[in-house]
Amino acid sequence: MKSRLAILAAVVLLAGTIVVPRAFAVYQQNQAPAGTPTPADENFVQQMFDQHLSWVDSAEKSGQLTPEQAQSWRQHLDSMRDFHTKYGMGMMGGNFSGFCHDENTGPDSST
């Protein structure tokens, strides 16, 4: 009886050592690389910069900004929108998932 239980335990352990790593490998293959902005991130970036551009328009209309200053702000916001659309939001160009140093945007990357 004990030998059957020992053989069953060995089979279960062996199966576990094969199945579990493969399950995690499949999960990781289906994930986007770290630092890749999600659609929710891109939607947030779009909404945020739309709000900023609205502020620039209203500040220009009320005289708080000159037309030249407003144009400068629009150019700056457009370049920042492009950057954050490409690299996501967060520290050092990371995204909302908490990845601030990865193979694409880390301090040692060539990009």
Q: Say which DSSP state 98 is in.
A: S
Q: Torsions phi, psi of 103, nearest 5?
A: -65, -20
Mean pLDDT of 77-89: 82
Per-residue pLDDT tens digits for 69-82: 999 999 999 998 88
Nearest to 89 by CA among 32, 27, 46, 30: 46
Question: Per residue in 14-28, pLDDT tens?
Answer: 777 776 666 666 555
| Residue 98 confidence (pLDDT) | 47
Count of positions (residues) in the chain: 111
Residue ranges of alpha helices (H) inside 30-66 are: 39-61
To the nearest 10 degrees (0 to 180), the angle between helices 39-61 and 67-87 is: 180
Domain map (residue ranges) of the chain: 1-31, 36-111
> Could you tell me the pTM of the whole model?
0.49
Nearest to 88 by CA among 67, 73, 104: 104
pLDDT digits (tens, 9 = 90+) for 33-70: 555 666 776 787 788 889 999 999 999 999 999 999 99
